[in-house]
Structure 1
Amino acid sequence: MEWTGEGLLIGVRRYGESSVIAEAMVVGRGRHLGLVRGGRSHRHAATLQPGNSVQLVWRSRIEDNLGSFTVELLQARAAELIIDRERLYLSQLICELLHLLPERDAHDRLLAMALRLLDQPVDAVAVARFEMSILDELGFGLDLSVCAATGVTSDLTHVSPKTGRAVSRAAAQPYLDRLLVLPHCLAGSDAASPDDIAAAFRLTGHFLNLHVWGARQIDPPSTRGSLIALLTQPH
């Protein structure tokens, strides 16, 4: 078995004395792992960094095996990320979130979103929407288009923490202490204050914890809180 494809490196871990197992999101193939023989050598060091885009050749005698990667650098981002805290934390968060996806299931929309996030100035709203898209592709998407209680599609201000469905201002009044705030930036508005951005991450974080991190008994990415703190600082 053999295939060639472009991918985003999202993880590298040691294997044996000289090799590594590389993890990449590959166009048309999703999250894929492969052994890179000699991957701990100086020659491979600059290439095998999470956040880099690479050309991959995967080979295996049997399709279900781990297989091996031959890796060629296409776009180096790691050096730029290291000198920019926001972009470094963002890259680490993206890699951790993509790691949640089932192995070998194509998620090209998420991969395209991740590459756009990595190649442009850090956009807090786009990061929150990326987390929403992760939830959606894992089968836990939020419905923020219509009020769960009344069916109206306007003046939606809150979200049920159990169902992930929107609630209108009028319907929310008796239950304000139980509901999550629906931030303007996720409800169609272009404006995004620090408080609005913080509310967006509280919303996505709640459902990621409910359905993914808590359910799998894993900790949220360690850099997520640090990134949110930087993105919600008043300018």
Structure 2
Amino acid sequence: MALLTADAIVCAVRAHGEHGAILRALTREAGLVAGYVRGGRSRRLRPILMPGNRIALELRARTEEQLASATVELLESRAPLLAEPLAAAAIDWATSLTAATLPENQPYPALSGALSAVLDAIGVASSARQWAAALARYELLLLAELGFGLNLDECVVTGSTEDLVFVSPRSGGAVSMAAASGYEERLFRLPPFLCGRDGDPAMADILDAMAMIGHFLDRDVLDGRNRDLLTSRERLTDRLGRAVA
């Protein structure tokens, strides 16, 4: 029986058997889903099953416990972006993070829309700065959706909503300039664009945001595991830093 028919974003593909592949894809309706694609390693299907691609996905299974059989049709290819190392690194990180952290079969419509927007931005932006801020916001949203949201609206010490310029690495709460006095070096800088200010941030602000968000991703979501995934993010931030240098 058909379990799901939906547009989806390819997030991860793993070889299975001699010719097949296990696909993990993000849908708006059902969240992250998995399915076995017969012939998924074939010359015809490999270009379709590339992370970042938008596909029409159908999952079928005889029972809910069985790994579904998946059929796919390409709706939008992002393969041309993979020729650009920085764009390729961003797509690899965003899709890998999604596949590694979201529980399966739980809808996250906000994340589905945000990931689609990030991938669209990578495709049309004239510079990395124009999509890197969207990527940082996606990471922040993912933390919130998984129950680890940061409180950037008020000072964790005083409750003030004014002059919020730092973030505590322990609580994930914003800290005002006055409350941070004497402790600045122990805190993360809070880039204004994460609070809805400064709509066109500089790359330095974006890198500060990614450094701060990376701390909480590692601690709260990845829990120090999946070193390869963290290395992928480090390569991306390193390339972003070199792009602005």
- Shorter-chain TM range is over 0.9
2:202 is the alignment partner of 1:190: no
- Aligned pair partner of 1:162 in 170, 174, 180: 170
Structure 1 position 227, deviation (Å) = 2.0
Deviations along 1:73-128, one digit per CA (max 9) or x if unpaired, are 111112x1221122111110111111111111111211111111111224121111
Q: CA-atom RMSD, angstroms?
A: 1.5
Structure 1 position 4, deviation (Å) = 0.9
Distance, in Å, in 1 between the alignment partners of 2:210 and 2:71 is 38
2:209 is the alignment partner of 1:208: no
Distance, in Å, in 2 between the alignment partners of 1:136 and 1:195 is 24
Structure 1 position 47, deviation (Å) = 1.1
- Trace 1:50-199 onto structure 2 (pairs within 5 A): 50-78=51-79, 80-99=80-99, 100-120=101-121, 121=125, 122=128, 123-187=131-195, 188-199=197-208
Corresponding residue SS for 1:112:
helix
Q: Which runs of at least 4 in structure 1 moved beyond 3 Å after TM superposition?
A: none
Deviations along 1:162-201, one digit per CA (max 9) or x if unpaired, are 1101110000103223221112222322242333222101
Distance, in Å, in 1 between the alignment partners of 2:200 and 2:163 is 16
Please, which runs of 5 or more residues in structure 2 have no aligned partner? none
Structure 1 position 156, deviation (Å) = 0.3
2:228 is the alignment partner of 1:227: no
Distance, in Å, in 2 between the alignment partners of 1:8 and 1:234 is 29
C-alpha contact (below 8 Å) 1:183/1:200 kept by paired residues: yes
Please, which runs of 5 or more residues in structure 1 have no aligned partner? none
Determine the structure 2 residue equivalent to 1:22.
23
Deviations along 1:37-71, one digit per CA (max 9) or x if unpaired, are 12122221221111111111111011132110011
Distance, in Å, in 1 between the alignment partners of 2:236 and 2:44 is 32
Distance, in Å, in 2 between the alignment partners of 1:18 and 1:72 is 18
Aligned residue pairs total 233
C-alpha contact (below 8 Å) 1:97/1:134 kept by paired residues: no
Distance, in Å, in 2 between the alignment partners of 1:197 and 1:114 is 17
Corresponding residue SS for 2:39:
coil
Deviations along 1:21-40, one digit per CA (max 9) or x if unpaired, are 11100121011110111212
C-alpha contact (below 8 Å) 1:161/1:179 kept by paired residues: yes
Structure 1 position 207, deviation (Å) = 0.4
C-alpha contact (below 8 Å) 1:198/1:228 kept by paired residues: yes
Moved more, 218-227 or 167-176: 218-227
Moved more, 223-232 or 128-137: 223-232
TM-score by length of 1: 0.93
TM-score by length of 2: 0.90
Corresponding residue SS for 1:141:
coil
Distance, in Å, in 2 between the alignment partners of 1:28 and 1:91 is 22
Distance, in Å, in 2 between the alignment partners of 1:211 and 1:114 is 20
C-alpha contact (below 8 Å) 1:56/1:70 kept by paired residues: yes
Distance, in Å, in 2 between the alignment partners of 1:164 and 1:22 is 34
